Amino acid sequence: MLAKLLIKNSKFIYSLEIEPNSAKTFYLKIQSGGDYRPAFNLWKIDSFIQKTQVEFILLGFFYGLAVVMVLYNLFLFFSLRMKSYLYYVLVITCSVMANLQNNGLAFQYLWPNYPIWNAIANPFFVSLACIFILLFTMSFLETNRYLPRFKSIAMILMVLNGLVIVSLFLSKMVALNIMLLSTFSTFTTVLT
C-alpha cells in the first residue's frame, strides 16, 4: 500500500491509514546529498494542525521582525549614506534566506521547481552572510583605522567563504566541509 501526499507543506506529510489495534509496515527510501537528516514523526491530524499553527505564528513574528530590520536599516543607509547599514541589511537578508531554506519555506514558496538549487541554497546564503558580516565589521568598527591587521585576516576569510560558494557547484560535500571551517573562523574572528 502506498501512502499519499496529504497537503502542500514545507515538510513531507503523508496520510497513513492504520486501523486501531493493528500493525502495518511502511518502507521509506530517502536519497540525499549528505546533509539532510529528516525527522520522522507520527501525528494525529488535529495535533499536527495545532502545532503548525503555533509554528507559523512564531515564524511570522521572526520574519516580520527581520523585514522591519531590513527596511529600517535601508532607510538609515539612504539617509546617512553609511556603507555599514547596507552591509547589515545584506547580512540580515542572507541570514533570512538561509533560515527560509532551512525550515523548508523557501522550497515551498520561493523555488519549488528547483530542488538542485534548494540543496545548495543554505550553504550559499550562509557563506554570503559571512562575507557581508566581515564587510560590516570592517566598516562599522573602522578596522582600517583602528586595527589595520584585521583587513588581511578578513580578506583570507572572505576568500575562504567565497571558496565555499564556488565549490558548491563542484562538490557539495567538499563545500560543506569548507563551510564548517569558514563559518566557525568568521564568527570567532568577528566576536574576538
Average pLDDT over all residues of the chain: 87
Is the confidence at residue 161, as pLDDT, over 80? Answer: yes
- pLDDT at residue number 47: 81
- pLDDT at residue number 21: 83
- pLDDT at residue number 1: 46
- pLDDT at residue number 7: 65
Instruction: Look up residue 79 and give its three cell numbers.
Output: 539617509
What number is the average pLDDT over the span 15-34?
A: 73
Residues 6+ apart with CB under 8 A from 150: 137, 138, 143
Is the confidence at residue 83, as pLDDT, over 50? Answer: yes
List the one residue out of 5, 3, 13, 7 whose CA is nearest residue 40.
Answer: 13
Looking at per-residue pLDDT, the higher value among 6 and 171 belongs to: 171
What number is the average pLDDT over the span 108-121?
A: 90
Assign 32 a pLDDT band (cuts: 50, 70, 90).
low
SS (H, E, C) the chain: CCCEECCCCCCCCEECCCCCCCCCCCCCCCCCCCCCCCCCCCCCHHHHHHHHHHHHHHHHHHHHHHHHHHHHHHHHHHHHCCHHHHHHHHHHHHHHHHHHHHCCHHHHHHCCCCHHHHHHHHHHHHHHHHHHHHHHHHHHCCHHHHCCHHHHHHHHHHHHHHHHHHHHCCCHHHHHHHHHHHHHHHHHHHHC
pLDDT single digits (tens) 33-55? 555 566 677 777 788 778 888 88
